[in-house]
Amino acid sequence: MHKVAVVQCSSYEESQVKEAVCKTLDLLGGLESFVKPASKVLLKPNLLLARNPEGAVTTHPQVLKVLIEEIKSIEAIPLVGDSPGGRNTQKALNKIFRETGIGKVCQETGTQIIIFDQEVIEAKNPDGKTFKRFEIAKIYQEVDVIINLPKLKTHGFMTLTGAVKNIFGFIPGVKKAQFHLKVPQRENFAQMLVDLNLLIRPHLSLMDAVVAMDGEGPSGGNPRNLGLILASRDPFALDFVVAQVCNIAPSLVPTVKKALEMGLIKPDLIEILGLSLEEVLVKDFVLPSGSVMDRVPSFIFCFARNQVTPKPQVDALKCTGCKTCYENCPSNAIEMRENIPHFDYDVCIRCYCCQELCPESAINLYLPILSKIFS
């Protein structure tokens, strides 16, 4: 059985988060079943951008703090690490840790921060279906336990960014863009993420869905108060249940679809503990514009890709000319003119990295007329 715990947590008030996280862990056998004394435990939050935690873009620091304290209580050693997308300079990373509140938590608890970009190795992946090797953060080999801490958000390219997508953080920031260039198709990119999870194999995935994000996630959507903490030993089962909670068909989440095809998810063997699906179902969860691609018949998509695929467009009133999109576009489809990005849609691969990494949420996805027919 693949057990998925679903627990209510109505706010980020410390006592409520502690109660919810501990209850979630107890439903899965207790933290001691994952972590032993003196073991090194790597906590991998979602640290996409330098945003205030109330914006629902990153894993909330209170969730991280509670887990750090629980790990220390059994005399294990917590570490915190990630590699946000783009070029991770020390200045940029310092800003991310400061703005998200993660840096303060690590400082207060005496927890070491690991920057995944600093030491990278090439790892063989014999269990992967397509991707048999990865350049990833060396730290994954140097710890005893990996705890994955995703934030529940929509995603323009993958529809949903949950437990499976969060493991992409083990790929160094500058290498992420290369994957988008080498694997621009959604299904193939999803296969890469599934294969990467078969290499990393997190021991536990605990999802922050107290305040989630719907709409144009993962950075420009709408905060949604779902009031939930969810967790599982199996990131694939967790994302399957999360899709159900958000009333999303499995076929609309490419990573869930791939995991189902590979037999990594067996719906009949998933046991939901705590709250039932009926108690937590969100019927009006808003999907990102990019998800419309999966509803377009393949023969139409192949014939008229530019006319059916959502296109990134800049809101000039919000744009500050920071060049983040320009510097991180894997296909070099952006030109800066008069300090405003302009897109070459013949070159654009529709990975939506520009939208994901824009610090001002100034890039929106425009639906062409044919796409609106299927939305």
Model pLDDT, residue 365 = 86
List C-alpha distances in Å: 263 to 63, 231, 238. 31, 20, 15
Apex 225 CA angle, 222 and 231, nearest 5: 110
H or E segment at 206?
Answer: strand 204-214
Query: What are the residues facing 232 on neighbouring strands?
Result: 4, 205
Kindly state the average pLDDT of the residues 69-95.
Answer: 92
The share of the chain scoring above pLDDT 70, in percent, equals 93
Which CA distances in Å does 129 have to 159, 197, 294?
22, 11, 22
Of 341 and 365, the one with more pLDDT? 341
Per the model's pLDDT, the better-predicted residue between 368 and 127 turns out to be: 127
**In the structure encoding, which two tokens stand for residue 271, read together?**
């046991």
- Which range among 45-49, 87-91, 123-127 shows the weakest confidence by mean pLDDT? 87-91
Digit-coded pLDDT (tens) for 101-139: 999 999 999 999 999 999 999 999 999 999 999 999 999
**CA torsion 162→371→301→291, rounded to 10°?**
0
Please say whether the beta carbons of 329 and 351 come within 8 A: no
Average pLDDT (334-348) is 95
Task: Decide if pLDDT at 325 tops 90.
Answer: yes
What are the Cα distances from residue 323, in Å, to 54, 89, 176? 25, 15, 18
Give the residue from 243, 54, 247 showing the smallest Cα distance to 164: 243
Q: How confident is the model at residue 219 (pLDDT cuts 50, 70, 90)?
A: very high
What mean pLDDT is predicted for residues 179-196? 94
How much is the pTM? Answer: 0.92
DSSP string, 207-248: EEEEEEEESSTTTSSEEEEEEEEEEES-HHHHHHHHHHHTT-
pLDDT at residue 292 tops 80? no
Q: What is the rounded average pLDDT of the residues 301-323?
A: 79
Instruction: Report which residue type is found at 40.
Output: K
Q: What is the pLDDT of residues 225-282, one digit of tens each?
A: 999 999 999 999 999 999 999 999 998 999 999 999 999 999 999 999 999 999 999 9
Cα–Cα dist 361/318, whole Å? 7
181 touches 331 (CB < 8 A): yes
pLDDT the model gives residue 177: 86
d(CA 80, CA 41): 8
Between the two ends of the chain, the Cα-to-Cα distance in Å is 36
- The whole-number pLDDT of residue 160 equals 97
158-163: average pLDDT: 97
Task: Find out whether 43 and 78 touch, Cβ atoms under 8 Å.
Answer: yes
